[in-house]
């Protein structure tokens, strides 16, 4: 079993304070985080929802790529975006996955079915089962 670790050091109150999120396992990032970015948006400071979106897009890309390969139609590329909504006072409102993939030799029907199965089966989707998860899947025309 692999255990992934992250840590946050926070200073101050929720509304005036700030912190840093460190991706401990990989050392790949040390990111600023604060309430203003979470409730109003920011292009310089991350949010828990952005980190969830990153996890969801990566997980779905891997699950979808694997499912397509197991079906006998390995993809040449899979581009995934995830948008995770947050409303103060309500919480996380949903995750919207958008994927465009080049998959030689697959029908549109099989592509959509496999995408839906990957959405439901990816471990991050399973962890997020308490929120609405949508999927828009586009088969790229080569």
- The tens digit of pLDDT for each residue in 69-113 reads 999 999 999 999 999 999 999 999 999 999 999 999 999 999 999
Under a CB-based contact definition with an 8 Å cutoff, are residues 88 and 135 in contact? no
* Whether pLDDT at 43 is above 90: no
Give domain 48-139's CATH architecture: 2-Layer Sandwich (3.30)
- Could you give the C-alpha distances from 20 to 36, 60, 80, 89, 116, in angstroms and in order? 14, 26, 26, 23, 35
Q: Model's pTM, two decimal places?
A: 0.95
Domain boundaries, the chain: 7-40, 48-139
């Amino acid at each position: 079993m692999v255990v992934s670790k992250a840590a946050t050091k926070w200073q101050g109150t929720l509304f005036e304070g700030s912190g840093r999120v460190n991706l401990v396992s990989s050392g790949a990032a040390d990111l600023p985080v604060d309430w203003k970015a979470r409730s109003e948006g920011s292009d310089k400071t991350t949010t828990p929802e952005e980190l969830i979106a990153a996890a969801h897009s990566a997980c779905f890309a891997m699950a979808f790529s694997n499912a397509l390969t197991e079906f006998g139609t390995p993809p040449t590329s899979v581009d995934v975006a995830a948008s995770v909504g947050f409303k103060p006072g309500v919480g996380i409102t949903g995750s919207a996955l958008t994927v465009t993939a080049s998959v030689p030799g697959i029908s549109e029907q099989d592509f959509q079915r496999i995408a839906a199965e990957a959405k439901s089966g990816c471990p991050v989707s399973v962890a997020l089962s308490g929120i609405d998860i949508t999927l828009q899947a586009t088969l790229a025309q080569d």
